[in-house]
């Protein structure tokens, strides 16, 4: 805590220094209110391109644009004081090469105020990670199941169960050596995630990976139960808010139809007594 009593804002080097120490707590956020809720409890808040599926109803993250990430990044920035804010680079914004990646990363950082960006891939984008890191852009890598490549994978299947395991290990090592300060391991076998965590010098952040990872991340809407019946194996529900919200909406609808809302305390001035089957006198 600072002299004013406010928590000191974390930085990417603070996150990198947590390797092998207290596990990192990470969640997604896409709006100012959610950012305010998670800030006190998280070390890293990710404005994930999962926003396309969670809030915009897209079938995958492939359709997310840089403008969408900037809009949601600005909203999240207004709600954070302590956690490191990371914004996903969307599909098509960095694959062309290091120069394209730098232009778009610089724009993301300048317009959202984020502290770092995250991009997907391993050996294929090592040069891009190195290019960004050398120019002052802190990078989190992402290997294993990389959702932007869902069409190439043929679905959201666990990666690294067979001969792909060695490739994913090389990806993680390469991302670390290229200059990323952390790496997300998504939907890979527990033993592989544990091995990667032991072998790379930077913190690993698991999602469907291993409790041995240096941190964990989930989509906040998933842990709050806002998706109804959607329940990936790697998600633990800490609340079931979809049912609570639907019940509240149903109650509101009934009260409106029965003219019980708004009541006296919700309007300005006296409410005439209802007569003739509910019509006001």
Paired strand residues for 45: 27, 85
Tokens in use for 76? 């999240």
On the question of pLDDT at 1 being above 60, the answer is no
Residue partners of 3: CB distance under 8 A and separation at least 6 = none
Q: Give the per-residue pLDDT at 148.
A: 80
- By percentage, how much of the chain surpasses pLDDT 70? 90
Strands 274-275, 279-280: parallel, antiparallel or unpaired by DSSP? Answer: antiparallel
Selected catalytic residue, list 99, 186, 246, 279: 186
Q: Do 68 and 90 contact (CB within 8 A), yes or no? A: yes
- Alpha-carbon distance of 224 to 219, in angstroms, equals 9
Q: pLDDT band for position 175 (50/70/90)? A: very high
- Alpha-carbon distance of 185 to 52, in angstroms, equals 20
Active site residue 186: yes
Q: Do 187 and 158 contact (CB within 8 A), yes or no? A: yes
C-alpha angle 122-141-104 in degrees, rounded to nearest 5: 100
Residue partners of 200: CB distance under 8 A and separation at least 6 = 172, 173, 175, 176, 183
Q: pLDDT band for position 12 (50/70/90)? A: very high
- Alpha-carbon distance of 39 to 41, in angstroms, equals 5
Q: Is 88 annotated as a binding residue?
A: yes
Q: Describe the chain by its helix, strand, coil percentages, rounded to 5.
A: 40, 15, 45
Q: Is 49 annotated as a binding residue?
A: yes
The string of pLDDT tens digits covering residues 87-98 is 999 999 999 999
Q: Would the CA dihedral through 34, 38, 40, 43 be positive or negative?
A: negative
The string of pLDDT tens digits covering residues 53-87 is 999 999 999 999 999 999 999 999 999 999 999 99
- For residues 269 and 133, the model is more confident at 133
Q: Do 188 and 145 contact (CB within 8 A), yes or no? A: yes
Q: Is 120 annotated as a binding residue?
A: yes
C-alpha angle 148-84-22 in degrees, rounded to nearest 5: 100
Which DSSP string do the residues of 165-201 spell out, in sequence order? HHHHHHHHHHHHHHT-SEEEEES--HHHHHHHHHH-S
Of 59-73, 172-186, 260-274, give the lowest mean pLDDT range.
260-274
Q: Do 162 and 189 contact (CB within 8 A), yes or no? A: no
C-alpha Rg value of the chain to the nearest Å: 22
Q: Is 236 annotated as a binding residue?
A: no
Tokens in use for 180? 């990323």
Q: Give the per-residue pLDDT at 153.
A: 57
On the question of pLDDT at 249 being above 50, the answer is yes
- Alpha-carbon distance of 265 to 46, in angstroms, equals 41
Of 130-139, 156-165, 246-255, give the lowest mean pLDDT range.
156-165
Domains of the chain: 12-239 (3.20.20.60), 243-280 (no CATH)
Q: Is 164 annotated as a binding residue?
A: no
Q: What is each CA distance from 26 to 17, 39, 73, 164, 243, in whole angstroms?
A: 15, 10, 16, 27, 25
- Alpha-carbon distance of 4 to 98, in angstroms, equals 41
Which of 58, 10, 44 has its CA nearest to residue 182?
A: 44
On the question of pLDDT at 201 being above 50, the answer is yes
């Amino acid at each position: 805590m600072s002299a004013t009593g406010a928590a000191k804002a974390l930085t990417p080097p603070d996150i990198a220094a947590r390797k092998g120490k207290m596990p990192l707590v990470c969640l997604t956020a896409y709006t100012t209110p959610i950012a305010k809720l998670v800030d006190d409890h998280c070390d890293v808040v990710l404005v994930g391109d999962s926003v396309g599926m969670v809030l915009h109803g897209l079938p995958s993250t492939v359709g997310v644009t840089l403008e969408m990430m900037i809009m949601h990044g600005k909203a999240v920035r207004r709600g954070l004081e302590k956690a490191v804010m990371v914004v996903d680079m969307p599909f098509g914004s960095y694959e062309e090469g290091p120069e394209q990646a730098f232009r778009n990363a610089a724009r993301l950082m300048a317009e959202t105020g984020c502290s770092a960006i995250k991009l997907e891939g391993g050996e294929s984008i090592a040069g891009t990670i190195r290019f960004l890191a050398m120019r002052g852009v802190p990078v989190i890598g992402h290997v294993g199941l990389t959702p932007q490549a869902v069409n190439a994978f043929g679905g959201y299947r666990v990666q690294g169960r067979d001969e792909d395991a060695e490739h994913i290990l090389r990806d993680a090592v390469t991302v670390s050596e290229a200059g990323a300060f952390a790496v997300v391991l998504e939907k890979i076998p527990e033993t592989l995630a544990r091995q990667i965590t032991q072998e790379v010098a930077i913190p690993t952040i698991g999602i469907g990976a291993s409790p041995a990872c240096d941190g964990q991340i989930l989509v906040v809407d998933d842990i709050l139960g806002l998706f109804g019946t959607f329940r990936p194996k790697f998600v633990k529900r800490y609340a079931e808010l979809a049912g609570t919200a639907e019940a509240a909406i149903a109650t509101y609808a009934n009260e409106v139809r029965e003219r019980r809302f708004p009541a006296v305390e919700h309007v300005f001035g006296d409410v005439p007594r209802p007569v003739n089957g509910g019509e006001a006198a």
